[in-house]
Structure 1
Amino acid sequence: MPSISQLNVYPIKSCGAISCDTVRLTPYGLEHDRNWMVVDGLGRFITQRTHASLARVQPALNGDTLDVRAPGMSALALPIDPAALAGARTIAARVWGDTVPALDAGDAAAGWFSDYLGAPVRLVRFDPHAERTASREWTGESAAAVRFADGFPLLVIGEASLGDLNARLQAKGVDPIPMNRFRPNLVLSGIEAYEEDYTDTLRIAAADGDIALRIVKPCTRCPMPTIDQARGTPDPRWPNEPTDTMSTYRSDSRMNGAITFGQNAIVVSGAGSTLTLGLACDVDLRFDA
């Protein structure tokens, strides 16, 4: 029976994950996911694509604060409640083609991230009064809320898909890689390799309500999966893996030949319910992908 084997929340876009045993589902995905983001002086988002060392920034939920640590840095405490930023300066934050108002997290946070990255940056928090929705080209009639994620509320990957990729890597003499290279929110066990590519809806009977998540778009892959999340750099032995291997079999005609791995999903129903490791999932398949 398919079930949830990982639940990962990324409070700060492009920084480390918090692996959860339980997490509340919200309309924009997992609670706290991509609520914060690092931006440059023009409000443009900064990610591991240009600043790979963000991988080593590790957040942790600690009561009313998000504690942030990184090598060589003292701890930074951020208030979780956006009301703590009442009166804060508003920054027009840009994520790809979207611009949304965001709350400046203050000079201490800006100084911390600027010192760590060696570049002048600010940290912003998604304004809960702002609206950002996923592309209707992919969600159709559904207006899916999203915060600072690249484009969609959730990323879903099957364990077997990574297992297949790792078998291909090992056949080339390359070490297997962990799932964190792909930064999923939900990882599923008990499905075939790449079965998520042909999934329409995941139905989950949580203890506090039924949940439906609809798969809407393949996740195209930039060079970020080449970044070792523990090092904050590509593995010097194989700096272009797993991209080189994926390019031999994961070119997706639906995405104009781009490499895809994992599937983006939206919340159809069940916001407010709690996801838990080990919860069984009913997988509704489609065969037109």
Structure 2
Amino acid sequence: MDGSTVPRGGPVIDASSAFILLVTIVAFFLPLFIIFPPIPPSKREAVLDTHSQIGLGPSESGLRGHHTGDDAGHSAVKSQGGSQNGSQKGTQNGSNAKSQGKIRSLWIYPIKSCKGIEVRQSKVLPTGLEFDRLFTFAQLKSPFPVGLQASGDEKGAHAWHFITQRQFPLLATIQVELFVPDIIKARGHASKVSEPFLLVRFPWQERGLRGVLGLVAAKLARGWRARPEKEFVLPVAFPPQDEIDARGYAHEEVTIWRDTVTALNMETELPRELALYLGVSNRLGLFRIDPARLRNVYRCAPAKHDAGYQPVAGFQDAYPLHLLNLSSVRDFDAKIDKDEALRVLDPRRFRANIIIDGGDTPYEEETWKKIRLIPGPGNKHESSTFHVSCRTVRCKLPNVDPDNGYRHPVEPDRSLRKHREVDEGAKLMGCMGMQLTPLFSKTDSPEDLESWVEVGMSVGVLERGHHVYIRQ
């Protein structure tokens, strides 16, 4: 024996062998993680088992190419027929109205100040488009400061006030998705699937290891650019009393502008992280408009004896619908001082329901007093008529970018006040768009109070006149 030591144990694995082994393991398990991610199913996946999602994706949007007026976003419009056919349909409906453009895009905003949903068609109700502004977030505020002589009750009183992107711009990043029952998907499901739902999502990453795992899970489930999110589900239909009691909802007063309405507070559905994400330090509530306690609309709206019913609204600012003309947006866009944060004025900043393209005549809509939206040939829906109630007087909300929630310090509010102070009833305020009140051919029963609008409908002007805004 030469005294040398014989090595014990198994084979020695050097660094290169360990690296090859690691790569082999990753290559084996990574496809499995991508196809079968080790994360629990989302609420969205559960809802899609029995429901279908309503809304258009970015590639289907009628607003593509809006800033140039080209035809990039007109595919849906063209499918409804040309303007000549639309005018002929108007004649068949008893209208001699001359076409003043077409509907290019339709939007609903189920939760006030959150992301909207673009649709191809929508039912029109006295409150506006179906599913529009059913909910609003609100914060519980104290009345301080109060006078020294105020009573104890006055000093201790708190009240709910609605919130918008003006105070909390990150509301713009809250994703709202609408799901309606799908008869085919629902076959074989014992659970009740007859009601539509809203799925609400917002970005949220926990701290520490839990947050890292959430980030990895999000990227495995939805792609490399995905971020962790919190989500919750809301019923769209107004709940019956037994469900209100079971879920801890409560009827409470909430103030929207100068109106105070009794609505259903559903704050028990909100995850605690939402207030932290938005930056709301007060108690955060979520109110659902009560169909039996809608807000009456007066001021510039038609009177009850003229409309055939009392005009009403849900959580819209003042009137049931908002119309925007892309020709006017393009004209105004050319007057804004641009910077890196605002290169092109996105019409979504104005949160309109009906977006039309009125050709080469900007602000033509400000002369309208009554319009009819006329379907093309072969369309199953009849014409819809609207009272053009007044101009839309703008606050600073359009300063918020609808994609990322960034609030521009001055624009477009400054340019609106400079170039669009055009209404003698709204001194020092800028105007963009028009407020509408639905009109119906029959008003004898609640079933009569509905019509339809659809992308591609022609705009026929029935009456023209002068507008003067009436403040609240």
Q: TM-score, normalised by structure 2?
A: 0.57
Does the Cα contact within 8 Å between 1:167 and 1:176 map onto a contact in 2? no
Does the Cα contact within 8 Å between 1:3 and 1:189 map onto a contact in 2? yes
Aligned length: 285
Shift of 1:172: 8.7
1:118 to 272, 279, 288: 279
1:269 to 437, 440, 458: 440
Within a 5 Å distance, the mapping from 1:121-132 to structure 2 comes to 121-132=284-295
Partner of 2:238: 82
Partner of 2:329: 162
Q: Distance in 2 between matches of 1:165 and 1:172?
A: 16
Shift of 1:117: 1.9
Shift of 1:140: 4.0
2:139 to 27, 30, 40: 40
What amino acid sits opposite 1:67 in the alignment? L
Residue 197 of structure 1: SS of its match in structure 2? helix
- Asked if 1:22 corresponds to 2:147, the answer is no
1:248 to 405, 415, 418: 418
Shift of 1:131: 2.6
> Percent of pairs identical after alignment?
26
Q: Distance in 1 between matches of 2:233 and 2:338?
A: 44
Q: Distance in 1 between matches of 2:234 and 2:350?
A: 26
Within a 5 Å distance, the mapping from 1:183-222 to structure 2 comes to 183-191=351-359, 192-206=361-375, 207-222=380-395
What value does the CA root-mean-square deviation take over the aligned residues? 2.0
Unaligned runs of 5+ residues in structure 2 are 1-98, 141-158, 181-195, 205-228, 305-309, 442-448, 468-472
Q: Distance in 1 between matches of 2:362 and 2:403?
A: 26
Shift of 1:93: 1.4
Residue 171 of structure 2: SS of its match in structure 1? helix
1:278 to 456, 462, 468: 456
Does the Cα contact within 8 Å between 2:418 and 2:430 map onto a contact in 1? no
Residue 24 of structure 1: SS of its match in structure 2? strand
Shift of 1:218: 1.2
What amino acid sits opposite 2:413 in the alignment? T
Task: Summarize the Cα distance change of 1:245–1:65 in structure 2 as closer, same or farther, 3 Å threshold.
Answer: same
Q: Distance in 2 between matches of 1:106 and 1:40?
A: 10
State the structure with bigger RCO (CA 8 A, min sep 6), 1 or 2: 1
Unaligned runs of 5+ residues in structure 1 are none
- Asked if 1:55 corresponds to 2:172, the answer is yes
1:224 to 376, 397, 404: 397
Q: Distance in 2 between matches of 1:112 and 1:13?
A: 19
Q: Deviations over 1:72-98 (max 9, x none)?
A: 231111011112653331111111111
Does the Cα contact within 8 Å between 2:417 and 2:428 map onto a contact in 1? no
Does the Cα contact within 8 Å between 1:210 and 1:269 map onto a contact in 2? no
Residue 255 of structure 1: SS of its match in structure 2? coil
Residue 345 of structure 2: SS of its match in structure 1? coil
Shift of 1:137: 2.2
Shift of 1:112: 5.2
Q: Distance in 2 between matches of 1:4 and 1:140?
A: 23
- Asked if 1:258 corresponds to 2:420, the answer is no
Q: Deviations over 1:113-147 (max 9, x none)?
A: 3243233201110111113111x221241321100
Q: Distance in 1 between matches of 2:286 and 2:367?
A: 37
Does the Cα contact within 8 Å between 2:369 and 2:465 map onto a contact in 1? no
1:179 to 347, 365, 378: 347
Does the Cα contact within 8 Å between 1:76 and 1:112 map onto a contact in 2? no
